[in-house]
A and B are shown apart, each in its own frame.
Chain A
């Protein structure tokens, strides 16, 4: 199964990167989600997958049985899932705001900042105001 898991992780990050290289903001966010899932799976995998017994100590015992699943990567993954979701949610809000302000989801047309920094940039009249 090691090979199967490894291929699955590779598929996550490969497809995630491919979508992140797109110029469409929504596709980039979807790619980010895939990449996050790949990273989460990798953390989970590196703690060794095998046991299907949850790491819960039964009543009457003081220690976890030796064949329970590894608890540490689970704790890390739990954090990662939540953080990844927060990041995605913020990115979606940003995309929505960008669309409302700039009228586009294509990053080629989101050039206001580049024009600001260029030495031969036109004056600030070209910069985009985002208050209605």
Chain B
């Protein structure tokens, strides 16, 4: 089976599975877990093939735009695919048990989202075409929205869901802009092609803009400063979703993309420095907030943000070791953080208590959960012989090797010490500490929930003890894939007495001190309210509030129900566009008018028209205005008459006469005194607008006159009127012969207008009194 078939199977399976779950009762969870487990097995079987060369598959999608569904499975993609399907299997099992007492429909709905998310994730990490990647990327954002807001009756969950969607989707828009710019500059959307030849993007003058767009996309997805706030809020999701989306997989997509494009961006050193800056800042903020967090899941969320910051910083560092450190940390973090979330979910499920400080003494009731938590915490703390220890060794090695060693190492030591402290508190307090007051415990271990974390924790130890299990099969191909060139990868537990070991020791010692004094530090930090102002989502609320205020304001101003405002907006827009059209380019061309003969009679007629117009616009009396409009209409008829258009003049005279008669007749039925409908200010504004519009028309008219006249059609009609139309009046021949269909349409319009007017006036209408009575 090839890769695209596998993705289709995943999609079909995610659609079918909910129906199975809804009907299968207790067995539903394990049945649904078959799908991710089978996918895991397939990806596991590809390890050998991927080790030699990436698997590439092209499915044409929009060939004319250079967008193909190119799937490419290399070492880095494979690592993610294994994490997605492996942890996905456990999440499915766990979720079925976690939601056991919920109605079948709710369970099925949740698993549907989870499996669909898994499919979208698999497609994202195997997509080689950036446009395809973006589509799947946005799918994961959308599913994250649905999962965060899963408890939709909770207003806070809805708010958090909307926030996560707005932040990640607006970042997604920036990413799309960056991707399109990349496509424009490089002529390709393929990541592999970009990595092979980064020069067109690197040398482009738009390169800083491309980097900014891609970074915004990655930072929103991976919760980096200043977008870090959405991830802790997203903890409103049910715990299985938190473990899966907001820790192990989805939030690492930003890191994934940055690592993928690192060989391209590495050509400009300032990009790396930017990543180190934002990653480091995120780490520090997350460490402070983790110390201040009250709820169990919030502590885990902030520690996840810190790990994501570490990953971003590592990608920014130069040197091949940083790729090993990135891969090692992704693997180690997914293993221990998913475990910790699972265990936190079990504790919350069993006690209905979410605050860390309220918990204690659970080891007797939940022995396996306690064991898994301890193991995962040790890995998180970076103690030997866990995989977390190895990844931390490489982390420090990468920092020491890089050109930014002092800053990176200092931040790394501080933040990792906080991680050690958090790990200690998480492992010890809920399970072995003394509870402040007694609380109710609903249930002990439940196999469906316990098996996942226990398995992951054991895997974490195994990989730590025997790193050769993953070193050659997973770590090496993945590190080489993101480094862009082969190098000698070593991934082992014992490195000898190195500076890294000393730093690890320092971190553990500092962390132990922090953990010992956790309570006083936590309480002191909580009292610093200033952190809330800076680190929480005040900025988001501000932007959202201002946007809504702007929408309200523009609705009030532009759509306030006053027809005059609508007309003014429309005519101002038209005037603006007209002015732009006239002034853009080389500007208007004016005709040579100096030597033209002046026709005194027409001069008088035109003056009459202008006077009629001005009087009509200026007089308050409606009767005078109608007379003035009629006057200007007769003037136009005279212009026709004197310029070889007797038919036109005749029509214009009759129409103008009819107009004056009809309006006068109607006016008899209307109040003759019209009170002024505009204030003086509004008059001036309208006058200015009308003057600007008239000026534009004036210039445009003169420009028309300056252009050479094309007589082709005129000559054609003049020559063919008699031989083909058999008429001597050329205007009439055009109307009834050459353009007969137009004339027919015109007659139809007149007929419809007459019908409409007749229908409106026929009944005599509902009188004013009658309408008020209705």
With A12-B609, A24-B674, A27-B674 as contacts: A57 and B722 at CB distance below 8 Å: yes
Contact mask A105-129 → B, CB, 8 Å, 1/0? 1111011001000000000000011
Complex CA–CA separation, A17 to B159 (angstroms): 48
The answer, yes or no, to whether B155 is at the interface (CB within 8 Å) is no
Complex CA–CA separation, A130 to B614 (angstroms): 37
| Cβ-closest chain A residue relative to B767 | A132
Complex CA–CA separation, A30 to B651 (angstroms): 19
- State how many angstroms separate the Cβ of A4 from the closest Cβ of chain B: 5
| Cβ-closest chain A residue relative to B603 | A4
Contact A6–B616 (Cβ < 8 Å): no
Chain A's interface size range is 35 or more
Contact mask B627-668 → A, CB, 8 Å, 1/0? 001001100100110111111100110010011001100110
Contact A5–B606 (Cβ < 8 Å): yes
Contact mask B374-388 → A, CB, 8 Å, 1/0? 000000000000000
Contact mask A26-65 → B, CB, 8 Å, 1/0? 1101110110011011101111111111111111011110
* Prevailing SS type, chain A contact patch: helix
Contact A89–B662 (Cβ < 8 Å): yes
Contact of A33 among B629, B691, B704, B714 (CB under 8 A): B629
Complex CA–CA separation, A90 to B616 (angstroms): 21
The answer, yes or no, to whether B576 is at the interface (CB within 8 Å) is no
Contact B644–A2 (Cβ < 8 Å): no
Contact A101–B647 (Cβ < 8 Å): no
The answer, yes or no, to whether B62 is at the interface (CB within 8 Å) is no
Contact A89–B753 (Cβ < 8 Å): yes
Most buried by A among B568, B599, B645, B705: B645
A38: chain B residues within 8 A (beta carbon): 697
Contact B616–A77 (Cβ < 8 Å): no
> Which stretch from B324-332, B450-458, B742-750 is at the chain A interface?
B742-750
The answer, yes or no, to whether B497 is at the interface (CB within 8 Å) is no
Tell me which residues from 678 to 710 in chain B have a Cβ below 8 Å from any Cβ of chain A: 678, 686-687, 689-691, 693-695, 697-698, 701-702, 704-705, 709
The answer, yes or no, to whether B173 is at the interface (CB within 8 Å) is no
- State how many angstroms separate the Cβ of A2 from the closest Cβ of chain B: 5
Contact mask B741-774 → A, CB, 8 Å, 1/0? 0110010011001101100110101111011101
Contact A10–B690 (Cβ < 8 Å): no
Contact mask B585-598 → A, CB, 8 Å, 1/0? 00000010100111
Contact B705–A132 (Cβ < 8 Å): no
> Which stretch from B129-137, B535-543, B724-732 is at the chain A interface?
B724-732
Contact A90–B717 (Cβ < 8 Å): no
A29: chain B residues within 8 A (beta carbon): 663
- State how many angstroms separate the Cβ of A92 from the closest Cβ of chain B: 5
A86: chain B residues within 8 A (beta carbon): 749-750, 753-754
- State how many angstroms separate the Cβ of A131 from the closest Cβ of chain B: 5
Contact B731–A19 (Cβ < 8 Å): no
The answer, yes or no, to whether B584 is at the interface (CB within 8 Å) is no
| Cβ-closest chain B residue relative to A55 | B730
Contact A55–B610 (Cβ < 8 Å): no
With A57-B728, A74-B647 as contacts: A83 and B718 at CB distance below 8 Å: no
| Cβ-closest chain B residue relative to A45 | B701
Complex CA–CA separation, A131 to B486 (angstroms): 85
Complex CA–CA separation, A50 to B698 (angstroms): 19
Most buried by A among B614, B658, B768: B768
With A99-B670, A131-B766 as contacts: A45 and B636 at CB distance below 8 Å: no
Contact A8–B697 (Cβ < 8 Å): no
Tell me which residues from 448 to 494 in chain B have a Cβ below 8 Å from any Cβ of chain A: none
Contact B647–A34 (Cβ < 8 Å): no
Tell me which residues from 582 to 626 in chain B have a Cβ below 8 Å from any Cβ of chain A: 591, 593, 596-599, 602-603, 606, 609-610, 613-614, 616-617, 622, 625-626
B772: chain A residues within 8 A (beta carbon): 103
| Cβ-closest chain B residue relative to A113 | B561
With A2-B705, A7-B606, A22-B678 as contacts: A71 and B690 at CB distance below 8 Å: no
What are 20 A-to-B residue pairs whose CB atoms are below 8 Å? A1-B597, A16-B613, A17-B694, A18-B689, A21-B571, A21-B689, A30-B626, A37-B636, A54-B645, A57-B718, A83-B750, A85-B659, A85-B750, A90-B756, A93-B756, A96-B670, A97-B765, A100-B765, A100-B766, A103-B772
Interface residues of B (CB under 8 A from A): 561-564, 567-568, 571, 591, 593, 596-599, 602-603, 606, 609-610, 613-614, 616-617, 622, 625-626, 629, 632-633, 636, 639-640, 642-648, 651-652, 655, 658-659, 662-663, 666-667, 669-671, 674, 677-678, 686-687, 689-691, 693-695, 697-698, 701-702, 704-705, 709, 711, 713-714, 717-719, 721-723, 728-731, 734-735, 739, 742-743, 746, 749-750, 753-754, 756-757, 760-761, 763, 765-768, 770-772, 774
Interface residues of A (CB under 8 A from B): 1-24, 26-27, 29-31, 33-34, 37-38, 40-42, 44-59, 61-64, 68-72, 74-75, 77-79, 81-90, 92-97, 99-103, 105-108, 110-111, 114, 128-132
